[in-house]
Amino acid sequence: MRARLAIQAAAQEVELREVLLRDKATEFLETSPSATVPCLKDGETVLDESLEIMIWALERNDPAGWLLVPRSGRDVITEADGSFKQALDRTKYHTRYDSDPEAERARAGVFLAKLDTQLAGKAWLYGDNPSIADMAILPFVRQFAFIDKPRFDAEPWPHLQRWLEAFLASQDFERIMLKYQVWQSKDPATVFPTDSA
């Protein structure tokens, strides 16, 4: 999701190949060292971390200035990708991790409360415009929220909830959530982003 957000914002056309996670195509497995999505191949370079793909796209074209964030913006992304994502996964997939979902939810809540405080009086984490920090973190916040949306909505995080709802209502979100057919080697190329999106 966040790789598509940056590719779209940077207006970088790529060939999109939708992967069925339970039946990954041989061509995909030969390309991605980690066999995880997303994966981007640019010549001989292979990127299989979504944040790397975001930076790849935005370094080529950043018309909205997403990369113009203070050092603290990079730090909050690191925290989201680290301890918050771990707590998110251990809440959502607690049977897989044999974890206490309530304890993990509380751990995630500490990070979310910090975001809520940072968003007070601002549309985005660093002011009036979105940045890479917003777009790198929002997909994970969305994932956490939808574990139990009524419970998330009842938390004392009004600024965080407003931020998420604005993102969910945006055209950017709508465009990246378009569904694509699972790619097969005989298929014609699917270009992303499309003019019709």
pLDDT at residue number 33:
83
- Total structural domains in the chain? 2
**Residue 89 forms part of a structural domain:** yes
48 and 90 assigned to the same domain: no
153 and 75 assigned to the same domain: yes
Q: What is the CATH number of the domain that holds 101?
A: 1.20.1050.10
Calculate what percentage of the chain has a pLDDT beyond 70: 98
Kind and range of the H or E run holding 2: helix 2-9
**Residue 27 forms part of a structural domain:** yes
91 and 167 assigned to the same domain: yes
The percent of the chain in helix, strand and coil, each rounded to the nearest 5, is: 55, 10, 40
**Residue 197 forms part of a structural domain:** no
For tokens 């809440």, the residue is 91
pTM value is 0.93
Longest pairwise C-alpha distance within the chain: 51
Name the residue range of residue 76's domain. Answer: 71-173
Reading the chain (197 residues) residue by residue, the pLDDT tens digits are 999 999 999 999 999 999 999 999 999 999 998 999 999 999 999 999 999 999 999 999 999 999 999 999 999 999 999 999 999 999 999 999 999 999 999 999 999 999 999 999 999 999 999 999 999 999 999 999 999 999 999 999 999 999 999 999 999 999 999 999 999 989 999 999 985 44
163 and 127 assigned to the same domain: yes
